[in-house]
Every structure is written in structure tokens, then in C-alpha cells.
């Protein structure tokens, strides 16, 4: 008996279709049908046969690599971030809080809804430029966002959801194109620093902030290190401050709060000598509290906090930033009027946040030509490179000022 010859299926152009391939007569669309690892029938579509077969090869390669094309196609960035955070058991509370804040603020509502397999290098690049240009964030902030986003895709690569991390190299390219100076944090000038503190001293509504800002500007401590200070950390006899913990402000599941945390690195545990301005501010505050009552708030077994608000609770970073804004706006409003009356240029304080106070203190140390290693120890910088970056900026500005002063005294051309 002669075996029947199997009829080959062809497309409208007479080309032989392979197993799983078909073409709709209605619109000429090409279809590839396959069964996924869960036994479900799935389809791949294309307007031309060549592109369809490219998709087939991609699918076959994915299956050979052990990838689940279907699951990978339905895992969003948001889902993967939540999974990633659930695996980070040893993450410091500060870091966890920062990750959650940055992701929820800049990624979750829009970019986070994208499927992992749909995200390409150019998508990430466009998203980063959108944040820089439309949201007007600094390059330093983008760096933090990248720190959150990159490990999410790294985990997806390790879990065989995607093959390559689309965030690789994006930030480096943007930094090269954006220029090195975009987003650099600049210190207050000595005039601006003095004007800021004078405003706190002379405005009754802001005077209660004086001890906190005198300490921040006179020690260079991080905000959490400063707000977490207790009287046990102050040695008036030796005139030094012990930094060994921080009050971390976090937001989790819509609930905000504080927690006591250890410094990120051993470099963060340090002793900071008190200059006269800091010593006097803290001594006066201690004498005031000795008379009016000390803070009774307790956090994770720690009590005796130096700085508290009207409710007896710790100052959160947002409130500190808000106070800074109100103080420099009050100064600027008064300064413009005074300068006009006195026929001089006003000393305007630019917009800045709490981080600039630490940077300003470090800049003052660098301007004094103090040993870089000593500055690193006072600041609690893990890497000396961080200190050197500020030192280099300060020295460049000093050289520039010196040349400008020289040029004003001598006619070269």
C-alpha cells in the first residue's frame, strides 16, 4: 500500500510554512502557535514571515536557556521590586527606607508598570532623561534611583526571567553627556552661613532651632546622627561628641516612624571635638532643659535625646528641610530691603537642604588646609575619595579666587 504524501502548508506567496506556523486569510497575519511549560497554548504574531521566525528563534533560545517566556512577559518592575525587597533581610533600616521612598516616589506609578521583558536599554535611558529634564532632579538623585533599579533587573537575570540587565551602562553614559558638574552639591559661602545663623538668632520664631543648626554646621554630622544625639553622647569636660548611632526616619506601608540604627560603616563611629560655638550652644541648651525639663521620649531603649519638637518627639528630616526653607526665605526678604536702603549688594542665601550643612562644614575644614585624613575621620567618610572630591573643589575655588584677586591688582594685558 502506498503511503499518502503529506501536503505542505504554504503562505500566500507560496513559501512553505514550518510546524506551528500559519497565516490568516482575512488579513494575512502570520501566527506561530506553541505550548508553554504550563501546558497552555500561546501565540506569537507578526505581519511578515521573516519577523515571525525571528521571534520563534528568540522563543526557542529562551526555552533552551530555561527561561519562562510567559512568566517573564508578565512580571512587572513593581512586582520584581517587591520580591527583591522581601529577600533583603539584612538591609539597614535607613537603606530600606530610602529604597522604598525613591522607588515609590519616582518609579512605581509609571515606569514600574512596565513588563520586565519589554524594558530595553533605550527605555531606561529615556526614563532617566525624563527624570532629569522633566522632574528636574539632580544627577546625585538619579544615581540613587539607579542604585535601586539596577539590582532589581540583576535579580531578574539571576532568576532567568531576562537575559541581560537593561540598566547596565545607562547612568555612565548620561553622566558623560550631562557633564560632571550637574547636580553637584555646593557649600554655603562664609557670608551665607553667617547670615543663616544670624537669622535664627534674631528671629524669635526660629531661635529654638539654634542648638540643632549650630551643631549640624559645627560638626558636619548627618541629620540622623544629630537628631539621635543624647546627653550621654556629650562630654562637656573633654569637649567632644561621641557618634555611635543614628535616629533613622522611615516610611513603611504608609506608616512613618523612627528607629535607632548603627552607623553604616566603622568609619561612622567617631569622636568629634566641639568648637566653641557648638560647646556654647549645647551647654546653654543643657542648662535650659535642666530648668524646664529634659526630653522623656524613648526609642528602642535609647532616651535623653537633646533635640525634640513641641510634642517631645524627634525632628524628622522633612521638618528640618522645611525649617531651613523658612529661615533663608525670611533672611532673603529682609536682606533685600536692608541692602537697598544701605546701597549695597544683598547677601542672598540660595535654596538648600539639610545635606548642604554637612557639605559646608567639610568645605570649611578643607579651606583651613587641615590634613585630609583628619577631615575624613571627623566626617566619618568611609572612603577618602569622598573627602578628596570636596577638597579638590575647595582648592580649585581658592586658586580661582586668588587669581581673580591678583588680576584685579595687576594689569597683565
Residues 399 and 285 in one domain: yes
Residue 65 backbone phi and psi in degrees, to 5: -75, -5
When divided into structural domains, the chain yields a total of 3
Judgement on whether residues 156 and 194 belong to the same structural domain of the protein: no
Is the distance from CB of 390 to CB of 362 less than 8 angstroms?
Answer: yes
Examine the domain organization and report whether 205 and 169 are in the same domain. Answer: no
Question: 171 and 299 share a domain?
Answer: no
Closest CA relative to residue 364, chosen from 240, 219, 213 = 219
Q: How far apart are CA 202 and CA 19, in angstroms?
A: 84
Sign of the CA dihedral running 109, 114, 116, 120: negative
**Residue 203 and residue 283 share a domain:** yes
Structural domain that includes position 363:
190-405
Per-residue pLDDT tens digits for 98-150:
788 889 989 998 999 998 888 999 999 999 988 887 777 778 788 889 999 99
pLDDT at residue 38, as a whole number = 44
Which CATH number fits the domain that encloses residue 165?
1.10.150.130
Question: Which pLDDT belongs to residue 178?
Answer: 65
The answer to whether position 3 is within a domain reads no
**Separation between Cα atoms, residue 219 and residue 277, nearest integer Å:** 10
pLDDT at 66: 42
Angle, nearest 10°, between helix axes 372-379 and 384-409? Answer: 120
Asked whether the CA dihedral 254, 353, 242, 206 is positive or negative, the reply is negative
Residue 5 in domain: no
Q: pLDDT tens, 306-317?
A: 999 999 999 998
Q: Are residues 370 and 223 in the same domain?
A: yes
Domain shared by 203 and 322, yes or no: yes
Residue 401 has pLDDT above 70, yes or no: no
pLDDT digits (tens, 9 = 90+) for 173-183: 888 876 544 44
> Using one digit for the tens of pLDDT, what is the confidence trace for 183-202?
456 789 999 999 999 999 99
- How does residue 206 score in pLDDT terms, banded at 50, 70 and 90? very high
Q: What are phi and psi of 284, to 5 degrees?
A: -65, -40
Residue 333 lies in a domain: yes
Instruction: State the average pLDDT over residues 210-220.
Output: 96
How large is the average pLDDT for residues 44-57?
A: 87
Q: What is the DSSP string of 101-114?
A: HHHHHHTTTTGGGS
Q: Note whether 173 and 271 are same-domain residues.
A: no
Same domain for 206 and 160, yes or no, is no
For residues 174 and 194, membership in a common domain is answered with no
pLDDT of res. 59: 74
Amino acid at each position: 500500500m502506498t503511503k499518502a504524501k503529506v501536503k505542505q502548508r504554504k503562505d500566500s506567496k507560496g513559501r512553505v510554512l514550518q510546524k506551528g506556523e500559519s497565516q490568516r486569510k482575512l488579513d494575512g497575519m502570520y501566527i506561530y502557535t506553541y505550548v508553554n511549560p504550563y501546558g497552555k497554548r500561546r501565540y506569537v504574531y507578526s505581519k511578515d514571515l521573516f519577523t515571525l521566525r525571528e521571534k520563534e528563534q528568540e522563543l526557542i533560545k529562551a526555552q533552551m536557556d530555561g527561561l519562562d517566556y510567559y512568566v517573564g512577559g508578565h512580571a512587572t518592575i513593581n512586582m520584581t521590586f517587591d520580591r527583591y525587597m522581601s529577600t533583603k533581610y539584612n538591609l539597614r533600616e535607613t537603606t530600606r527606607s530610602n529604597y522604598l521612598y525613591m522607588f515609590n516616589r519616582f518609579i512605581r506609578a509609571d515606569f514600574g508598570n512596565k513588563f520586565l521583558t519589554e524594558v530595553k536599554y533605550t527605555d531606561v535611558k529615556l526614563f532617566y532623561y525624563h527624570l532629569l529634564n522633566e522632574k528636574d532632579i539632580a544627577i546625585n538623585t538619579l544615581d540613587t534611583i539607579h542604585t535601586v533599579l539596577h539590582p532589581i533587573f540583576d535579580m531578574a537575570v539571576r532568576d532567568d526571567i531576562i537575559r541581560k540587565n537593561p540598566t547596565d551602562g545607562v547612568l555612565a553614559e548620561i553622566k558623560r553627556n550631562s557633564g560632571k558638574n550637574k547636580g553637584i552639591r555646593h557649600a554655603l559661602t562664609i557670608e551665607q552661613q553667617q547670615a543663616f545663623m544670624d537669622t535664627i538668632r534674631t528671629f524669635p520664631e526660629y531661635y529654638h532651632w539654634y542648638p540643632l543648626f549650630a551643631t549640624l554646621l559645627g560638626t558636619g554630622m548627618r541629620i540622623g546622627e544629630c537628631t539621635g544625639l543624647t546627653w550621654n553622647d556629650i562630654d562637656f569636660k573633654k569637649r567632644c561628641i561621641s557618634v555611635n548611632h543614628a535616629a533613622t526616619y522611615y516610611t513603611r506601608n504608609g506608616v512613618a516612624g523612627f528607629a535607632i540604627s548603627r552607623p553604616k560603616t566603622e568609619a561612622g563611629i567617631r569622636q568629634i571635638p566641639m568648637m566653641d560655638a557648638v560647646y556654647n550652644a549645647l551647654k546653654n541648651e543643657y542648662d535650659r532643659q535642666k530648668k524646664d525639663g529634659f526630653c522623656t521620649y524613648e526609642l528602642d531603649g535609647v532616651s535623653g535625646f537633646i533635640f525634640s519638637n513641641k510634642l517631645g518627639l524627634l525632628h524628622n528630616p522633612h521638618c528640618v528641610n522645611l525649617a531651613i526653607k523658612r529661615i533663608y526665605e525670611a533672611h532673603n526678604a529682609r536682606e533685600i530691603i536692608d541692602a537697598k536702603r544701605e546701597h549695597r549688594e544683598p547677601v542672598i542665601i540660595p535654596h538648600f537642604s539639610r545635606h548642604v550643612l554637612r557639605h559646608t562644614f567639610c568645605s570649611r575644614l578643607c579651606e583651613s588646609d587641615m590634613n585630609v585624613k583628619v577631615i575624613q575621620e571627623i566626617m566619618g567618610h568611609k572612603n577618602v575619595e569622598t573627602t578628596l572630591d570636596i577638597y579638590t573643589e575647595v582648592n580649585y575655588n581658592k586658586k580661582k579666587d586668588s587669581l581673580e584677586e591678583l588680576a584685579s591688582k595687576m594689569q597683565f594685558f
